[in-house]
Amino acid sequence: TQLLEQSPQFLSIQEGENLTVYCNSSSVFSSLQWYRQEPGEGPVLLVTVVTGGEVKKLKRLTFQFGDARKDSSLHITAAQPGDTGLYLCAGGRSGNTPLVFGKGTRLSVIA
Amino acid sequence: DAEITQSPRHKITETGRQVTLACHQTWNHNNMFWYRQDLGHGLRLIHYSYGVHDTNKGEVSDGYSVSRSNTEDLPLTLESAASSQTSVYFCASSAGAGMNTEAFFGQGTRLTVV
């Protein structure tokens, strides 16, 4: 059973379009992280959200943690080819337990 | 600058051979993790360690082992390589384990078992 479900799995859009990707769970998480992974590289942290309802902005990227801390979304405004990559969400739980990763959303932004 | 490095970047081995993948970090992090990444499965945890001489099994630990003799290194050993272990392997380290801690990943090792 996958603890974190990400949707869509694949997304191909034109440069300048907006998009939202989702990370959902039936479990409550203490924190939610978003990573971006480029081909041939390891994932790199974009943001961590820890409070239910929290919204964080990173330039054109907006991250939201659901009120119940079971889901999160990533919204990209005016996507650019440089946004292309695999977006992974990871849930942190209380105690000393490893992060749980979703399967990721593979985004392709076409110029 | 602190970093985490994996070696080799690419490896081809034969079924049944023992293979060791290296992971070295200079962050001085206590926590280190090994994942494998496969299409359709995402990142799956193999083994992890919270400090020297500590090792723990992840969700897909069968056929793999790790040992932690110092803070910097967590080598991953495939005891008898199988074709099902063809994958991209990532090592990561963090100052903590669960909430609010950033995981720093290596660049990955692409392993092919023929």
Strands (E) located in A3-43: 5-7, 10-14, 19-24, 31-37
Q: What is the mean pLDDT of residues A78-94?
A: 94
Residues of A in Cβ contact (< 8 Å) with B108: 40-42
Alpha carbon distance B30, B7 (integer Å): 20
Cα distances (Å, whole numbers) of residue B30 to A60, A63, A80, B64: 34, 29, 37, 21
Contact B97 A102 (CB under 8 A): no
Residue A2 has pLDDT above 80, yes or no: no
**pLDDT tens digits, B84-107:** 999 999 999 998 755 568 899 999
Residue B80 has pLDDT above 70, yes or no: yes
Chain B interface includes A93 (CB < 8 A) = yes
**pLDDT tens digits, B37-79:** 998 888 999 999 999 999 999 999 999 999 999 999 999 999 9
pLDDT of residue A68: 94
Chain A interface includes B27 (CB < 8 A) = no
Q: What is the mean pLDDT of residues A22-39?
A: 94
Number of inter-chain CB pairs under 8 A, A vs B: 66
